Amino acid sequence: SDLQKQEERGELLRPLVFVLLVLCSVLLYFKVSLMDPGFVESEKEAKAGESEEQSTAIPQVPSNVKMRRCGYCLVKQPMRAKHCQLCQHCVRRYDHHCPWIENCVGEKNHPLFIVYLSVQLVVLLWGGHVAWSGLYFEQSWDWLQHNILLVMSFFLIVIFTIVVLLLLISHLYLISCNITTWEFMSHHRISYLRHSELENPFDQGVILNLWRFFC
C-alpha cells in the first residue's frame, strides 16, 4: 500500500518527529509554568542545611550593603532575590515575570525555560518551512482567497519565530555574563550592584557561567 511504501522510504518519520517535538514543547510549557521558580521560604520553613548551602553559593556582600526584609511578604531576602507583585512571592535569582507562562522565571525553572524556548524555536522553524513549501504564488484574487489562511499562518509563524529567537539570544547572552534580566535592566537601582567595586561581581567567565547555570 501507499502507506507502507511511505514508511519504507522514511517519509512518515519526519511528521512523527514533528508531532513529538510539538508534544515536548507543550509539556515543557506546562512544566515551566506550573513549577516553583524558586520562591523564598520563611525562616521557619527553611532548613538549616539548605541555608548553609545557599550561603556558600552567594558571593560576598559588600560591607556597605545591608541585607533587608521584603516589605511585602516580610521574608529575609537573599542576594539576587526580588519580590514579584504578580506572584506575591520573593523569588531567588529573579529574572523576570513571563506573561507567556504566567509565572516567574527564577533560580529553579530558568534552565528549563531556556530548553523550552529552544524546542519552541525548532518547532516554529520547522512549521515555517512546511508553510513556505505549501505556498505557490500566483498574482490572482482566486489564488489569494484559497490560500489566505496559509499566508496568514506563515506570517504569524515568522513573527513568533523572530520574537522567540531574540528572546533566546538575549537570555543566552545574559547567562554567559551571569546576570539576570532584572539586574541588567535595573543595575543602577540594585544596592549590591551599585555599591560593588566590580561592574558585575557574579561574572566568572563565559564557560564557568554556562556550566554553573546548566549543570
Enzyme catalytic residues = 98
Which residues 6+ apart lie within 8 Å of 158 measured at CB? 128
Cα 62 from chain centre: 30
d(CA 125, CA 162): 10
Handedness of CA 175, 181, 182, 183 (dihedral sign): positive
Residue whose C-alpha cell reads 496568514 in the numeric block:
152
For residue 5, the tally of other CB atoms under 10 A from its CB is 9
Burial (0-12, 13-18, 19+ Cβ within 10 Å), 95: buried
